[in-house]
Amino acid sequence: MFSTTGSYSVVARSILNGALLAFEEVNATSKNIELEPVVVNPSGDLARYRSLSLELLGSGIRQVVGCYTSSSRKEVIPCFEKFDGLLWYPSHYEGFESSDNVIYTGAAPNQHVLPLVDYLASRVGSRAFCIGSNYIWAWENNRIFREALIARGGTVLAERYLSMGDTEVDQVIAAIIEQRPDFVFNNLIGTSAYAFFRAFRAACRARGIDQAAEIPVASCTLSEPELPEIGPDAIDGHLSSSVYFSSLNSPENAAFINAYAQSFPDGPASSADAESSYIAVKLLAAALSQAGSDDARRVRAAVADQRLRAPQGEVRIDRQTFHAWLTPRIGRSSVNGQFEVLLESREPIAPDPYLVQSSPRFASAMRSPLLKVV
Amino acid sequence: MSSRLLQNFKGGRAIVVTRRGGWESTLETTLAKLGVSTEYPEIIDGRAQIDVTSLQADRDILFVDGDLEGAVAIEVHPASRLPPVPVIGLVGVEAPSRLKALVNLGATSFLRKPVHGGAVYTSLFMGINQFLLRAEMSERLQDLEERRRGRRAVIRAVVLLMQHGGLDEEGAYSQLRRESMRARQNMELYCEEFLSKRAKPPDTSGRTTGIMLQGGNKQAI
């Protein structure tokens, strides 16, 4: 269930492809199970996500790989809880959730935004300008980012939000250029993000600013299929925090990239989210095979502690949170439409969706004057 | 007021007072994800066996099943109406009498039985932060109450300085304010000490009235 049309369709088509590739491979190699994918497209419409979930669950389907945006996931979770189905959610997200009816194969915030804060604060600068699409992903990811950056002595100069799909980015860009942050933290998704990258590069160029060097843009979402959407004039120099880049050098990734390219020669290119849905389907197949049933509880029990040699490295499902152990990386986009890996974790790290291990006990205080006249 | 919200509950201990029936496993596994361990005190003769003196407000959270009548006996603070640790009510039968009993225990948040995993973080977040907020407000109220009682000393000190220091009202007030800041004391306390240093015979009638007023007002609040 992916929105293969609509404002974030490029990523969604890549995610769907990742899942379809895994279905193909499972059916070609598995001896005891055969999976038949049913593909539906909610077109980015929240109400459609809900009605399609009810339709799928009502038809007897109990395992759904689906959703990219957090708002769509939150919209459908009650359906999965009511009919006891399992949603395999294959995207990085903002955490603070752990439904018993969801298996989360994408990165939790300690696997994407916190490593990015470490990188930016230690190598780029301390003054951030935060932007995002106006929904829960950007609000919460910006909050986590702000708290972590402030804890490291940094400051957030401003936060600006655009409606999903909005491409009127000039005002935001004027504000950024006026404030001259050390970097922009971007949580815009889909067409809004592409318009921003293009216009920001052009606006900087017009003022003689080397954008990539002087005001780099860092995201937790930017992936390979989106780079051609930005276009050749602004494709390079963008930072991305992700558990997967297609430039990774490993036999598993080479096999994945080749198989993906053969199955989907017309694109869009593979991405972290495509790898995540590929992992989701592989784990689903392993769990179904072990459980001998598609009953949600039995499959859930069977997926706990499942391990997989994935394109990004070893992945396993944490039995407490039903999120995945993944390997964080920081990449920078190049003119060839790939990411150059700048840093990577030596090993997979445990998911911490509630940031229990990695956030301060108290939220950072609201700004108030230290001294006031009485 | 810049109260800080507690958002990471790691290292917390949930003491869950209930008759175990299986439904509580969702609560326990969800609390574990939030870094909170769970204990179930024994219930003997209808009373949960909790050592109230060992409870720590920065670690413990008491979950009380409203369907158990009188299982928990803890004292709430007379002024703030707060229990010694945050209390979260577990609501089964939604009857006013049971909800009232939980409110009287100082519950700052509620969870419906059977517990839904998706409701636990909200309930913990509200329960603990409302507890902290109320404790902070109660402290401020107590502080203001004390300062209100001390205002009389300020008036007397101003009058004294006007009579003997040749200052007008504004000058006397400014001097006292300056001196209290220099002494790093609030003005009320500084003025009380200022008066006691100068006072000859203590004004016992005034003091007595003050104490009575203090008691009377507290009751009214």
Q: How confident is the model at residue A374, as a pLDDT? A: 43
Best CA proximity match to A117, nearest among A107, A128, A108, A106: A128
End-to-end CA distance of chain A: 59
CA pair distance B184, B191, nearest whole angstrom: 12
- Other C-beta atoms lying within 10 Å of the C-beta of residue A254: 12
Q: Do the Cβ atoms of A368 and B2 come within 8 Å?
A: yes
Q: Residues of chain A with pLDDT > 90: what percent? A: 93
Q: Do the Cβ atoms of B6 and A357 come within 8 Å?
A: no
Which chain B residues contact residue A354 at CB under 8 A?
A: 8, 33-35, 121
Sequence letter at residue A71: S
B123 contact A CB<8A: no
B117 contact A CB<8A: yes
Q: Do the Cβ atoms of A360 and B6 come within 8 Å?
A: no
Which chain A residues contact residue B123 at CB under 8 A?
A: none
Beta bridge partners of B36: B12
Which chain B residues contact residue A98 at CB under 8 A?
A: 30, 33, 117
pLDDT in tens, chain A (374 residues): 999 999 899 999 999 999 999 999 999 999 889 999 999 999 999 999 999 999 999 999 999 999 999 999 999 999 999 999 999 999 999 999 999 999 999 999 999 999 999 999 999 999 999 999 999 999 999 999 999 999 999 999 999 999 989 999 999 999 999 999 999 999 999 999 999 999 999 999 999 999 999 999 999 999 999 999 999 999 999 999 999 999 999 999 999 999 999 999 998 999 999 999 999 999 999 999 999 999 999 999 999 978 999 999 999 999 999 999 999 999 999 999 999 999 999 999 999 999 999 887 888 654 443 444 44
| pTM, 2 dp | 0.84
B40: pLDDT strictly greater than 90: yes
Q: How confident is the model at residue B22, as a pLDDT? A: 83
Asked whether the beta carbons of A10 and A223 are under 8 A apart, the reply is: no
Question: What residues contact A118, with CB distance under 8 A and at least 6 apart?
Answer: none
Q: How confident is the model at residue B214, as a pLDDT? A: 40
Q: Mind spelling out the 3-state secondary structure of chain A? A: CCCCCCCCHHHHHHHHHHHHHHHHHHHHHCCCCCCCCCCCCCCCCHHHHHHHHHHHHHCCCCEEECCCCHHHHHHHHHHHHHHCCEEEECCCCCCCCCCCCEEECCCCHHHHHHHHHHHHHHHCCCEEEEEEECCHHHHHHHHHHHHHHHHCCCEEEEEEEECCCCCCCHHHHHHHHHHCCCEEEEECCHHHHHHHHHHHHHHHHHCCCCHHHHCCEEECCCCHHHHHHHCHHHCCCCEEEECCCCCCCCHHHHHHHHHHHHHCCCCCCCCHHHHHHHHHHHHHHHHHHHHCCCCHHHHHHHHCCCEEEECCEEEEECCCCCEEEECCEEEEECCCCCEEEEEECCCCECCCCCCCCCCCCECCCCCCCCCCCC
Q: How confident is the model at residue B216, as a pLDDT? A: 36
Residue A321, CA distances (Å) to A102, A225, A286, A297 in order? 10, 30, 19, 15
Q: Do the Cβ atoms of A353 and B33 come within 8 Å?
A: yes
End-to-end CA distance of chain B: 22
Strand A217-219 relative to strand A339-344, pairing: unpaired
Q: How confident is the model at residue B198, as a pLDDT? A: 82
Q: Do the Cβ atoms of B10 and A320 come within 8 Å?
A: no
Q: pLDDT per residue over B79-121, tens digit each?
A: 888 999 999 999 999 999 999 999 999 999 999 999 999 999 9
Sequence letter at residue B120: V
Q: How confident is the model at residue B1, as a pLDDT? A: 47
pLDDT-derived band at B219 (thresholds 50, 70, 90) equals: very low
Which chain A residues contact residue B2 at CB under 8 A?
A: 365-366, 368
The C-alpha of B3 sits at a distance from chain A's nearest C-alpha, in angstroms, of 7
> What is the three-class DSSP state of B51?
coil
Q: Do the Cβ atoms of B117 and A99 come within 8 Å?
A: yes
Among A96, A357, A361, select the one facing B121 at the smallest CB separation. Answer: A96
If you search the block for the tokens 């359906």, which residue do you land on?
A: A79
Q: How confident is the model at residue A67, as a pLDDT? A: 97
Asked whether the beta carbons of B105 and B65 are under 8 A apart, the reply is: no
Q: Which helix (H) or strand (E) holds B12?
A: strand B12-17
CA pair distance A252, A198, nearest whole angstrom: 34
Interface pTM, i.e. ipTM:
0.80
Asked whether the beta carbons of A84 and A293 are under 8 A apart, the reply is: no
Q: Do the Cβ atoms of A363 and B4 come within 8 Å?
A: yes
Q: Which phi and psi angles does A158 have, rounded to 5°?
A: -165, 160
Q: Which phi and psi angles does B62 have, rounded to 5°?
A: -100, 120
A360 contact B CB<8A: yes
Q: How confident is the model at residue B200, as a pLDDT? A: 63
Asked whether the beta carbons of A307 and A286 are under 8 A apart, the reply is: no
The C-alpha of A288 sits at a distance from chain B's nearest C-alpha, in angstroms, of 24
Closest residue in chain B to residue A359, using alpha carbons only: B8
Q: Do the Cβ atoms of A100 and B6 come within 8 Å?
A: no
More confident: B165 or B217: B165
How many residue contacts between A and B have a Cβ separation below 8 Å? Answer: 51
If you search the block for the tokens 């699409």, which residue do you land on?
A: A133
B221: pLDDT strictly greater than 60: no
Q: Which helix (H) or strand (E) holds B89?
A: strand B87-91
